[in-house]
Amino acid sequence: MRTALGEPDARAAVTFLGTDRIEVLRFSGGAAGEEIVRYATLGMSAQPMTDPTAALADPLRGPRAELVLSVRAGFADTDKVLRPLAVLAASPQVEGLVVAPGASLDVGEPLWPGAPFTSVLVAEPGGLVEDLDLDEPLDPVRFLPLLPMTPNEAAWKRVHGAQALRERWLTGGTDLRDPSRGSVSLD
């Protein structure tokens, strides 16, 4: 992460009962006038994600991931997203979820105070932070971008799918890094 994002300027750690420690790192930076803050989890990939229907969990094999959220700085108190991100990162251990591109993750409350978002869409990896290869037989760590969704967008995505929502965002010229944006037109 440091290679792609630089040095973190803040970090917080959360431990949930029965889980490994999850840290959320904050990376500030970007071009002048376009300050972007990135929040990345650290610790989600310590254990592979396993299918909750599997009879036995493989302690070595299985997908590994960390989560990355990018937002414009200075428009909202986005630093309060640290705990919700840690909750999402702990969900594979706590709930047996396999977090993959196209999935929706919901925290049931605003991602930060006043945020119009309570959930995120998991996007395809590889754009911002490249996969981290681990020694065999371990799967590589994938860095999954998170795209905040309004409740209306999340409901629409459940009916029409992730690709259809991404197309709506693209067609609507939606700034997915705007921490106070409204819902895209879903008519």
**pLDDT tens digit sequence for 74-98:** 888 888 999 899 999 998 988 888 9
Summary mean pLDDT of the chain: 90
pLDDT at 32 exceeding the cut of 70: no
Residues 6+ apart with CB under 8 A from 87: 14, 16, 107
pLDDT over 70 percentage in the chain = 96
pLDDT band at 151 (very low <50, low <70, confident <90, very high): very high
DSSP-based helix, strand, coil % in the chain, nearest 5: 25, 25, 50
